[in-house]
Structure 1
Amino acid sequence: MAAAVLIAAMVVFAWPLLPEEERSDIPIAVGNTLTVLSLNLQFGQADIEEVSELITSDVDVLALQEYPPGFEEALAAAGLLEEFPHHVGTADTDASGTMLLSRTPLELVARAEGTAFENLIATTTVEGTDWHLGVIHTAPPQMGADAWARDGAVVKDLAEPYLEENLLLVGDFNAIDQHHTMRELTGGGDLYDLAARGQGEGLGWHPTWPTGTWAPSFARIDHALVSSRVRGSVPQFETVAGSDHKALIVEVAARIE
């Protein structure tokens, strides 16, 4: 009986890690690419030197969560605000601060109402291609099931008007693929996760949290979701000292019409 229970438990917990069927409907990319660096700064404690090392000339936009005024000062001291002069979002002393910083002009088009932290979508144009970029930071389950589910639903509503655009949502979703909030976002097929497993990719396990502790990372709660108009490869995941999340470096392109 004990062996049967153990086998059943292994099946239940291993099933989400098995490779998925190969997707045949991923659009073909063409033309210019967009590269975004996303990171939860853990109240701005992320090491500015390590963050700077990740910001190569290829990075077009920074999507930062838990963004306080102090980290903005660190970016300025490092000369990065000069490289990314266009800003949309809010610097805050608690976890609420959320900011998009771009080399190209940004226009705020949507801001979530009633979420625990700031969630927003802005537009920019990179080398002739128009993009809708969302930086996401939803309530963690520790705030309670109601707040967790509400924030997920608000983010879904936030993205809905832009599903026919070149849309990229990045950030700390505080949920893994199998959680209800993520399944609600991706279950309809309008958004897909760039780190979702494909045929021949093995387990495809890309945990992003926690880092900087005695325990290894075990949960991928940081995501990059794109609309059907966009394609991209699995993000690059990088550990940054001072943050409890890994950074995501995401490269995407628009599909052929």
Structure 2
Amino acid sequence: MPESRPQPRNWWRPEARTVPWWVLAVLLVLVALGVLARWLDATWLVPIVQAFFPVFGVSALVLLVAVAAMRYRWLALCALVVAIPPLALGMASVRSDTVAAGPHDEVVLTLNLQYGHANAAEVVAAARERRVDTLVLEECTPEELTALRRHGLDGVLPHQAGSAEPGIRGTVVRSNHPVTLIAAHPAGRFPSIPDVLVQTPQGAYRLRAVHTPAPLPDIVPDWRSALRSLTRWRAELPAKQPLVMAGDFNASSAMPGFRELADGLTDSSRATGSGWTRTWPRGAWLPPFIQLDHVLTRGFGVVADGTIDVSGTDHRGYWARLRFEPVTRAAAR
């Protein structure tokens, strides 16, 4: 009797598609859509989906491992294709392009105070500890500014531009350098975001505080319009103007509008290879998973960056230590 040969398994046959197969397939499709949304410049719910890109990226890697372990070969191939973009972006995010510290570096810190509820003593203590030179405060109320001054802000950062306003409307810049208010720009529900010239011993730089509307479905057109307005403003500045944009952008690098704005600038968290930097939400049942707070620069080398935790606000503070150029990167290492 001739010996029967084992038949190769047909991975497409219907009986191979068990309940786990279908569950993993559906999950893979959903994750794939979440990953692809990163390249879709649209409004409505799309920015909210894009905000979860890091979660989709991690999920893509988990699904790849799961389908490979269960030997679903075609699903594994599809999962590999879905995982490649977040894996490549993740690897790029840990590549460092920093410069060495110098004696006159500029430390910029941005913090959203959440309706002025942040702990004022902790804010001032963080400014002292980090030796902050310029501080950008979003959602700064008159009561919060009074509390900050009571805890010694004037002794740390005596110069001010911008104004405290009730609720979410106030944005204040404090610095240990003289600052000159050039303009107060409207941004959706925020009537006057300060645009200032900061005069340091090493030279002057332009600082644009940032606070855009959140990309919520009912106001997401205002959010996209605010990012476009910032992009136009940046493009109109002289190319050699040293520049810092710092604040709550309500946007991440997973959103095309933010990437367009950051094009040609140095994103400090990318320059330091910080990887998955997370500044929101803080103090909620959901752990921080997205970076909404940024420092973008031109004419500076990035030395270091990091986050700080202050009670009373749902944002982590984000700081960057910057070194004035024309110090070349080769000379600064």
Q: Same fold (TM over 0.5)?
A: yes
Query: Cα distance, 1:158 vs. partner?
Result: 2.6
Look up the match of 1:207.
278
**Counterpart of 2:127 in structure 1: which amino acid?**
I
Pair 1:36–1:54, CA change in 2 (3 A): same
Q: Which has the higher helix share?
A: 2
Q: Does 1:51 align with 2:126?
A: no
Look up the match of 1:177.
253
Pair 1:91–1:123, CA change in 2 (3 A): same
- Does the CA contact (< 8 Å) of 2:279 and 2:315 recur in 1? yes
- Does the CA contact (< 8 Å) of 2:99 and 2:302 recur in 1? no
Q: Which has the higher strand share?
A: 1
Query: Cα distance, 1:233 vs. partner?
Result: 3.7
- Does the CA contact (< 8 Å) of 1:30 and 1:256 recur in 2? no
Query: Cα distance, 1:77 vs. partner?
Result: 1.1
Q: Does 1:20 align with 2:92?
A: yes
Q: Following the alignment from structure 1 to structure 2, what is the Cα–Cα distance between the partners of residues 152 and 45?
A: 26
- Does the CA contact (< 8 Å) of 2:119 and 2:311 recur in 1? yes
Q: Which runs of 5+ in 1 are unaligned?
A: none
Q: Does 1:6 align with 2:27?
A: yes
RMSD: 2.6
Look up the match of 1:225.
296
Q: Which runs of 5+ in 2 are unaligned?
A: 1-20, 36-55, 58-84, 328-333
Q: Which moved more, 1:106-115 or 1:61-70?
A: 106-115
TM-score between the two structures when normalised by the length of structure 2: 0.68
**Counterpart of 1:145 in structure 2: which amino acid?**
V
**Counterpart of 2:159 in structure 1: which amino acid?**
H
Look up the match of 1:106.
179
Look up the match of 1:81.
154
**Counterpart of 2:260 in structure 1: which amino acid?**
E
Query: Cα distance, 1:192 vs. partner?
Result: 2.5
- Of structures 1 and 2, the larger Rg is shown by 2
Look up the match of 1:249.
319
* 1:22-67 Cα distance to aligned partner (Å, 9 max, x none): 8798788866211122100001100012112201272111110001
Q: Which moved more, 1:20-29 or 1:144-153?
A: 20-29
- Does the CA contact (< 8 Å) of 1:67 and 1:95 recur in 2? yes
Q: Does 1:60 align with 2:81?
A: no
Look up the match of 2:195.
121
Query: Cα distance, 1:247 vs. partner?
Result: 0.6
Pair 1:85–1:197, CA change in 2 (3 A): closer
Within the candidate set 234, 244, 251, 1:159 is matched to 234
Q: Which moved more, 1:237-246 or 1:143-152?
A: 143-152
Identity of aligned residues (%): 29
Look up the match of 2:225.
150
* 1:183-205 Cα distance to aligned partner (Å, 9 max, x none): 2202xx3212111277xx5x811
Q: Following the alignment from structure 1 to structure 2, what is the Cα–Cα distance between the partners of residues 256 and 31?
A: 15
Pair 1:165–1:28, CA change in 2 (3 A): farther
Q: Following the alignment from structure 2 to structure 1, what is the Cα–Cα distance between the partners of residues 189 and 295?
A: 20
Pair 1:78–1:215, CA change in 2 (3 A): same
Pair 1:178–1:163, CA change in 2 (3 A): farther
Q: Following the alignment from structure 1 to structure 2, what is the Cα–Cα distance between the partners of residues 35 and 246?
A: 16
Pair 1:8–1:254, CA change in 2 (3 A): farther
- Does the CA contact (< 8 Å) of 1:112 and 1:155 recur in 2? no
Q: Following the alignment from structure 1 to structure 2, what is the Cα–Cα distance between the partners of residues 73 and 179?
A: 36
Q: Following the alignment from structure 2 to structure 1, what is the Cα–Cα distance between the partners of residues 177 and 306?
A: 23
Pair 1:226–1:218, CA change in 2 (3 A): same
Q: Following the alignment from structure 1 to structure 2, what is the Cα–Cα distance between the partners of residues 85 and 204?
A: 34
Any idea what SS the aligned residue of 1:215 has?
Answer: coil
Query: Cα distance, 1:156 vs. partner?
Result: 1.6
Q: Following the alignment from structure 1 to structure 2, what is the Cα–Cα distance between the partners of residues 164 and 99?
A: 26
TM-score between the two structures when normalised by the length of structure 1: 0.87
